[in-house]
């Protein structure tokens, strides 16, 4: 008996015993009651087997994803998503060090031109922070859900993990 049957089997028995009590309230012949119970049990077992198959296909899809990631020869592909985070942090560090202002002050000697360029570059950097923060935030939230075991189409899209392909396997 698989672990899924152990988990799901007890629920089926409870449903059948509850339905058996309800069936007793209707005016049916004993053979009709027994036939109804057998049909209901068959439907519940079919539902349990479909749930078990869904769990198995999801586990197999996760295993396939892990195998594919581990068997890749290209190490950069494994680090591509974190690179977006790391490069953003490098750009922010350079900004904290004042490198952008230093470069602009060396290029533009005219004070009014320098102020205009700094103003434009500030707007660009603010847009970068907003965009980068959004990308990293969405990725971080999706990855957190993925690590806790929440798998659905949305987390698959956010993280790019292919978790949404489980639905394609089923049917």
Same-domain status, 46 and 121: no
Is residue 69 over pLDDT 90?
Answer: no
Same-domain status, 54 and 88: no
Same-domain status, 81 and 50: no
Of the listed ranges 14-28, 35-49, 60-74, the least confidently predicted one is: 14-28
Evaluate if pTM is beyond 0.75.
no
Same-domain status, 65 and 111: no
Same-domain status, 60 and 101: no
Is residue 170 over pLDDT 50?
Answer: no
CB atoms within 10 A of CB 142: 20
Q: What is the DSSP string of 97-132?
A: TTHHHHHHHHH--SHHHHHHHHHHHHHHHHHHHHHH
Q: Which of 71, 91, 106 is the last residue of a domain?
A: 71
CB atoms within 10 A of CB 92: 14
Same-domain status, 6 and 61: yes
Q: How many domains does the chain have?
A: 2
Same-domain status, 66 and 110: no
pLDDT level of residue 38 (50, 70, 90 thresholds): confident
- Tell me the H-state helices in 72-110: 75-96, 99-107
Q: What phi, psi does 15 have (nearest 5°)?
A: -65, -45
Residue 49 confidence (pLDDT): 86
Domain span holding position 148: 75-171
Mean pLDDT of the chain: 75
Structure tokens at 74: 């290209």
Better-scored residue on pLDDT, 10 or 92:
92
Q: Which of 71, 89, 106 is the last residue of a domain?
A: 71
pLDDT level of residue 41 (50, 70, 90 thresholds): confident
Nearest-10 Cα torsion for 14, 16, 21, 25: 150
pLDDT level of residue 84 (50, 70, 90 thresholds): confident
Same-domain status, 81 and 159: yes
pLDDT digits (tens, 9 = 90+) for 109-167: 788 888 888 888 888 889 999 999 998 888 788 777 777 776 777 767 766 665 445 44
CA–CA dist 66, 32 (Å, integer): 51
CA–CA dist 169, 59 (Å, integer): 11
Question: Could you give the 3-state DSSP secondary structure of residue 171?
Answer: coil
User: Quick one: what percent of the chain has pLDDT higher than 70?
Assistant: 67
CA–CA dist 69, 62 (Å, integer): 11
Q: What is the DSSP string of 10-46?
A: HHHHHHHHHHHHHHTTS---HHHHHHHHHHHHHHHHH
Same-domain status, 79 and 133: yes
């Amino acid at each position: 008996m698989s672990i899924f049957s152990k988990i799901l089997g007890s629920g089926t028995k409870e449903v059948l015993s509850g339905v058996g009590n309800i069936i007793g309230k209707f005016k049916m012949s004993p053979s009709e009651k027994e036939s109804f119970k057998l049909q209901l049990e068959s439907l519940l077992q079919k539902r349990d087997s479909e749930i078990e198959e869904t769990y198995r296909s999801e586990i197999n899809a996760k295993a396939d994803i892990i195998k594919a990631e581990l068997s890749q020869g290209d190490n950069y592909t494994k680090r591509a998503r974190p690179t977006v985070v790391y490069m953003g942090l490098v750009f922010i560090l350079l900004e904290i060090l004042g490198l952008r202002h230093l470069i602009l002050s060396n290029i533009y000697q005219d004070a009014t031109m320098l102020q205009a360029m700094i103003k434009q570059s500030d707007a660009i950097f603010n847009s970068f922070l907003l965009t980068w923060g959004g990308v990293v935030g969405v990725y971080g939230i999706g990855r957190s859900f993925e690590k806790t075991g929440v798998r659905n189409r949305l987390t698959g899209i956010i993280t790019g993990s292919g978790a949404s392909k489980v639905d394609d396997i089923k049917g």
